[in-house]
Each structure stands twice: as C-alpha cells, then as structure tokens.
Amino acid sequence: MLSTGHLSEPGEDYNGNLSVVASRRLLREQAALNQEGLETQGIFHHFYEERPHQAVAAILGPDGTPYARSPYLFEFTFPNTYPIKPPHAKLLTGDGRVRFNPNLYVNGKVCLSILGTWAGPSWTSLTTFRTVLLSIQSLLCANPLQNEPGHEHETGSDCELYAAMVRYESLAISALQLGRTLPPSCEPLRALLGGVFLCNYPVYCEILAGYSCCEGSRDRCPLYGFVTKYAPSLVKGQLDDLQASLLHQPDAVQMAEELRHNALPLCLPAEPVAAAVAADIESVGSDISPLQPGHGAPARAVHVAHGLWRVGPAARRFLCRCCLVTLVASGIGSAVALAITLAENSLSRGR
C-alpha cells in the first residue's frame, strides 16, 4: 500500500474489545519487553492498565543523526484481532509545521510497510510490537531525505540542508516538549522525559552552539516547503529555563540518576559533536527570503532497565552449554588423573 498524507483514525476494530487471543498475545509481548527491553537503544514504552489496547513510547534519536538524543513520542492502538492486524501508530511530537522525516507526516501519520501505510514487506501475525518500535527508530537515520522515494541515493546539498533543518528543529521542538503542553496520553512519560532532558542537556547545548552563526537567518525545505527560522539564542534560553525547572522536580532528578546509574548509552555524556554537525551547518541560512503566510503518571509506570548487560535466552543457553562442557571436561580430566595415580600406586606396591 502506497502512502498518502491522510491520517486515518483507528476504526471500530480498535475500540478496546480485545479478543482472548489478542489479550494473551499483548501480555506475552509486554512481559518480553519488560524482561528484555529496548532501553539501551533509547526506546521506552508504557502500556495502560486501564486501557490494555493502548500504549505510548518515547524513542530517542540515535547518536550521529539529526535526531540525536531528542525524544519522539508515539501513541499506539492495538486492534481487537491483534496480531492478525497491525497496531495503529501516531506521532505526537511536532508543531504542525515541521516534516521531521519522509515517513513521519506533520499530522502524525507514521509510514511503515509493516503498519500497512507504506510499500514493502507487510505485517504478519509473527510480527511484534518490539519490531514496530525498532522499525520506527530506524527511520531516524543520518540522512533522512534518503527515505523519500526517488531520493534513496541522494547526497547533495538538499540532503545536507534538510538534515541541518531537522537537527535544529529537533532541539527547538522535540527536546523542549516538556516546556510546552504534553499530550495527555503521554503523562506517564513525564518523569522519564525530564530525566532524559537532564541527562542530555549538555549535548543539546553543544549541538545548538553550532547554529550560533545562523542567528536570524531562515531556510525553506526544498522538498516539503516548511520554513525554519533560526533563533539559537532563544532556544538556548528555553533549554536553560527548562533545566532550571526540572532540577526542582524530584521525579525528574531521580529518573536522571536512575538512567545514569543504568548506564544507558543515550543518557551518558556524548563524544564531542561539533565535527559531526559542521558539514550540515555549512548548508544553513542559504535562503533568507521573507516568510510566507501559512508556514508558520508516575515515574515507575515507565519500564526502565535495572541493568545494562542483561543476557537474553539464547545467550543463556549458550553459556549453560559452555559451563556443562567445561564441567564434563574437568570431570574427565580428574578421572584420568585419578586413574593414573592409582596405577602408579599399584605399580609401586608391586615392586
């Protein structure tokens, strides 16, 4: 199915009347995610106890991309016939202006083949919510314009400009979401978002510093038409204000400490990013034409890993086999040594 920009709302089959099969499947998937979560990759989820057919997730942009460490919020609704049909996904991060990704529309539509909203491999009953989360994060790549059909191999100035605009808007919009009204469905993520912000505040400031030479300039996205007006000094003030506010919120401070304690990679100090953004910044501010009209829950509810190096089932089985082989080998060695000793003693007595 090829995607259009229209966002269809979940139909009657997504009204929460989950079948027995759907309920059991979702419970199994929740248990698996809680045991072997995706926090080390910057993906956090929350299922509602009172609405078991709905979930929200915060997905952090990977390092080395225009989305680095900024949280993107998504809402998921599961059908009554899950896993026969895929969940419905909606992007909640945005201001109705910026197209953050070719696969993420300003109206919240998420285009993925496994969700039935994009061409390619389709959903099967073996596909999981975990796969959906990882697939969405894979969209947040270093050169997002290459996700657009017909631009898969493009590496020119349009790609660089789009990446630079998205990098700036990720700070101005995504990183600062807590400074605005949070969508009601994301309230259970509030403490988590506060902790993520406090952990990554220095990274945000370092990235933003690369735009200091662009103060007052503006760019128009060549493909999607949205306009970015660069005001890094204003955004820096908003980052500072939000940090000061969060430092007085115990839930956010506690969550930041927990994220650091668990050594989650996207919540630890990053390598210097100035060099990584330098090439993109050179493309910024080239279009200075005037703007045209019209452009313009509790912390514990979120699953956070309590250990970074957690061993999965396959790895556990492998380690058990290694231990068994070692024990058997040790036993054989001991038996041989004992036999040799007894033989030597017997020979000695014979003499």
Angle at which helix 250-261 crosses helix 190-209, to 10 degrees, equals: 70
Q: Report the helix count and the strand count for the chain, using DSSP H and E.
A: 8, 6
82 and 150 both lie in a single domain: yes
327 shares a domain with 291: no
Residue 295 and residue 328 share a domain: no
Indicate if 142 and 244 belong to the same structural domain: yes
Residue 203: which of 115, 269, 138, 147 has the closest Cα? 269
Residue span of the structural domain in which 173 resides: 12-301
> What amino acid occupies position 191?
A
Statement to judge: residues 338 and 197 lie in one domain: no
Q: Is the pLDDT of residue 181 over 60?
A: yes
Which residue has better confidence, 294 or 23?
23
pLDDT confidence bin for 278, thresholds 50/70/90: low
Neighbours of 247 (CB within 10 A): 14
Give the residue carrying structure tokens 């024990």. Answer: 327
Tell me whether residue 7 is in a domain: no
- Give the containing element (helix H, strand E) for 77: strand 71-77
Does the pLDDT of residue 303 top 60, yes or no?
no
Q: What's the pLDDT tens digit per position in 31-73?
A: 999 988 899 999 999 999 999 999 999 999 999 999 999 999 9
Quickly count: other Cβ atoms within 10 Å of residue 320's Cβ. 10
* 47 phi, psi to nearest 5 deg: -100, 140
Sheet holding 43-47, edge to edge: 43-47, 54-60, 71-77, 88-91
The CATH number covering residue 154 comes to 3.10.110.10
Q: CA 81, 87, 90, 93: dihedral to nearest 10 degrees?
A: 130
In a domain, 1, yes or no: no
Model confidence at 309: pLDDT above 50: no
Residues 169 and 209 in one domain: yes
In the predicted model, is pLDDT for residue 306 greater than 60? no
Distance CA 128, CA 111 (A): 17
Residue 213 has pLDDT above 60, yes or no: yes
Angle between helices 274-281 and 190-209 (to 10 degrees): 70
Do 196 and 125 lie in one domain? The reply is yes
Q: Per the domain annotation, does 188 fall within a domain?
A: yes
Distances in whole angstroms, Cα of residue 327 to Cα of each of 323, 324, 337? 6, 5, 15
284-287: Cβ within 8 A, 24+ apart: 284/161, 284/164, 284/165, 284/168, 284/211, 284/214, 284/217, 284/219, 284/230, 285/213, 285/214, 285/217, 285/218, 285/219, 285/230, 286/161, 286/219, 287/218, 287/219, 287/220
